[in-house]
Amino acid sequence: MTVTHPAGTGLRPEAGAHAGLPFVPSSSRWRPLGLGEVTLDGGFWAERQELNASALIPHVERWVERMGWAGNFDAAAQGRLPGARRGREFSDSEIYKLLEAMAWEVGRTGDADLDARLRRLTARVAAAQEPDGYVNTMFGRSGQGERYSDLQWGHELYCFGHLIQAGVARARTHGDDELVQVAVRAADHVCRQFGPDGDQRVCGHPEIEVALVELYRVTGERRYLDQARAFVDRRGHGVLGDIELGATYYQDDVPVREAEVLAGHAVRALYLAAGAADVATETGDEELLGAVVSQTLATLARRTYLTGGMGAHHEGESFGVDFELPPDRSYSETCAGVASVMLNHRLLLATGDARHADAVERTLFNVVATSPAEDGQAFYYTNTLHQRVPGREVDPDVASPRAASSLRAPFFEVSCCPTNLTRTFASLGAYVASQDEAGVQLHQYAAATVRAHLAGGAVVLRVRTSYPDEGRVEVEVVEAPAGPWELTLRVPAWASGAVVRSAQGARRAEPGYVQVAGPAAGEVVVLELPVAARWTWADPRVDAVRGQVAVERGPVVMALESVDLGADVAGARVRTDVPPVDDGGQVRVPVRTVEAVDGDWPYGDAPAREVGRGAGERLVPLVPYHSWAERGPSTMRVWIPQG
């Protein structure tokens, strides 16, 4: 990784110290460790990072050309828009998310070819930027809507947010260059346009808030933080006007400080909460931080799918009310998963509350990892927990509407998810570990090398594990500081009975965080997490899965597919008086298959007769939910009826 200490755009000299981090709070309980400090050394997430580099990013590069979304910038620069413009009003943002992904990836690997592609794509964006910093291919030209004429749906500030995040990624992995400068000019434009003397409204889609705080962190320019805070504070007072979906849709019904739970469009709500958390952290606003924490905890307790997925409504891509979590209509957008990871990671570092790390882990393994196909060439936009009819094969050559595909699709008319995955996979190392004055904390388990610098000296850890396949995590202390320090390990909430072994002996580790005092160089600390498959039941208020049970294995949610059952999963009935069979990760459960009796009317004066089918009970394999639908059309369910 090349990190230069930039000059010329107001970048802080210490930007290099934050190298490779998408999120750098200037004060928090724990300081994150970034791409320069954490490298993944194989295993579940390293494989996905490699796939991201070799398949996802090139796939997205091809598709944004093919869809004409990159070409929009050329057309804009050449004065050929608006009739020639392609894509939805927010398509510019896909280019920016791709640029952000490329920046992280170049930072991670130093790939010179990718760096050249990033520079070329940046130049196309730069060519379309207007002298005052405004850039958007959808607005402001003759024949288009005026700038900011449609804040409800126009997504202009949302697009700027992603541009600024791309610039921040480049600044933190490379230093000043054209992408950083384009982003800074855009941010300066936003501050002039929406500053204290300017337009007092907000964007229909939050995103600019997180971006501006991060740019403040990179540059030290207070006006970016002030602008982010202003956007957070203005929102929730009906400034956007009403829409058919209601002002809740874009969180303009209740101020952030007053909301009790996340509501409305899930991605909007989660980005906004992440931005508000950042503003709170930087301004020391405990009230605001407390509001975001309590909304997030309420959302985890009452509005989240077993997978960590958020968003129960297809209509409005929105949260449902408490405990309204239908598995067969779970929207659970991939981008909401990405956004939940962003939010919960922020709150984890701000508060040290392991529940947020649990949410990050669950969402990474069961939403973020579920979206891309094994070959990195197709994606889920929504992530259902119950596929009632076999999905259809999807033409790898045709973009799908966002939620209509039933198997993974190559691209979407609204294609926010693939680009969001690319930037997340490229920056995954950032979620693994953090440090404080006392020591180093490991939050997510993956084979990795972790470096930190404590007052007493450097810490270098080598984590060896095949987690989540196995629950054994070995942390070899390669280098340790001279004085006392502390190694802190997260024990997931599901890992009751975990054991930690160190030079001080073995002890039970309760869910939350466990500390190991000052292991010396050469010592190996071992955490044993009981990942064996287990039954999981839902709160009875989740009526839609009453009488049903799921299987989890470590952090991984399992799924039953018809291809394994040999019949539609509608007829599966599972027996739960014994634990699921788990042969080193090969999970099987005792299932019998029944056939419902078809009738004229699906309601009657007695519980329906069910006819046993086939050879009685057998052990049927389950697959990790993240790898379902890899064997062609199938029906699938996470929640299986008991009986």
The single residue among 315, 397, 577, 583 that binds its own copies, judged by CB under 8 A, is: 315
One residue of 83, 598, 615, 616 binding its own copies per CB under 8 A:
598
The token pair at 143 is: 């024949």
Residue 544, helix vs strand vs coil: helix
> To the nearest whole angstrom, how small is the minimum distance from the Cβ of residue 136 to its own copies?
22
First to last CA, the chain: 56
Q: How far is the CB of 246 from its own copies (least distance, A)?
A: 5
Q: How far apart are CA 336 and CA 236, in angstroms?
A: 20
Task: At 157, give phi and psi (nearest 5°).
Answer: -70, -30
For 394, phi then psi, to 5°, come to: -110, 135
DSSP character for 304?
A: B
608 binds its own copies, rule: CB under 8 A: yes
Quick check: 217 binds its own copies (CB under 8 A)? no
CB of 556 to its own copies, least distance (A): 14
Q: Which of 378, 545, 622, 629 binds its own copies (CB under 8 A)?
A: 545
Which of 113, 197, 286, 600 touches its own copies (CB under 8 A)? Answer: 600
Contacts of 382 (CB under 8 A, 6+ apart): 314, 330, 331, 332, 333, 334, 402, 403
Distance of closest approach, residue 242 Cβ to its own copies, in angstroms: 8
CB of 509 to its own copies, least distance (A): 17
DSSP codes joined into one string, 363-426: HIIIIITTSB-TTSS-B-SS--SEE-SPPPP--TTSPBPTTT-SS-BS-BSS-HHHHHHHHHHH
User: CB of 535: closest distance to its own copies in angstroms?
Assistant: 7
Binding mask 382-421 for its own copies (x = CB under 8 A): ----x-xx-----------xxxx--------x--------
Selected from 83, 605, 615, 616, the binder of its own copies by CB under 8 A is 605
Contact, 325 vs 312, CB < 8 A? yes
Determine which residue in the list 460, 570, 581, 630 makes contact with its own copies, applying CB under 8 A. Answer: 570
Report which of 441, 424, 275 is spatially closest to residue 357, judged by C-alpha positions.
441
| Pair of tokens at residue 163 | 């541009």
Residue 2 or 149 having the CB closest to its own copies: 149
Q: Which of residues 221-280 bind its own copies (CB under 8 A)?
A: 244-246
- Report residue 628: phi and psi, to 5°: -75, 165
Nearest partner of 391 among 630, 203, 620, judged by Cα = 630
Residue of 297, 438, 478, 581 that binds its own copies (CB under 8 A): 297
Question: Measured from the CB of residue 507, what is the shortest distance to its own copies in angstroms?
Answer: 22
- Identify which range of 123-131, 363-371, 436-444, 600-608 contacts its own copies by CB under 8 A: 600-608
Rounded Cα distance, 591 and 637, in Å: 13
Q: Which is nearer to its own copies, 495 or 620 (CB)?
A: 495
Among 428, 514, 542, 591, binds its own copies (CB under 8 A): 542
The correct pick among 69, 160, 231, 494 for binding its own copies (CB under 8 A) is: 494
367 belongs to the binding site for its own copies (CB under 8 A): no
Buried b (16+ CB within 10 A) or exposed e, 531-541: bbbbbeebeee
DSSP run (H or E) holding 93: helix 92-109
543 binds its own copies (CB under 8 A): yes
Region binding its own copies by CB under 8 A among candidate stretches 33-41, 420-428, 513-521, 542-550 = 542-550
Which lies closer to its own copies via its Cβ, residue 583 or residue 598? 598
Kindly identify the residues of this chain, within the stretch 623-642, that bind its own copies according to CB under 8 A. 639, 641
Contact positions with its own copies (CB under 8 A) in 520-539: 534-539
Contacts of 437 (CB under 8 A, 6+ apart): 454, 455
Could you identify the residue written with the tokens 């701000």?
Answer: 350
The site for its own copies (CB under 8 A) is made up of 244-246, 297, 300-302, 304, 306, 313-315, 320-324, 326-329, 355, 358, 386, 388-389, 401-404, 413, 493-494, 496, 534-548, 550, 570, 594, 596, 598-608, 610, 639, 641
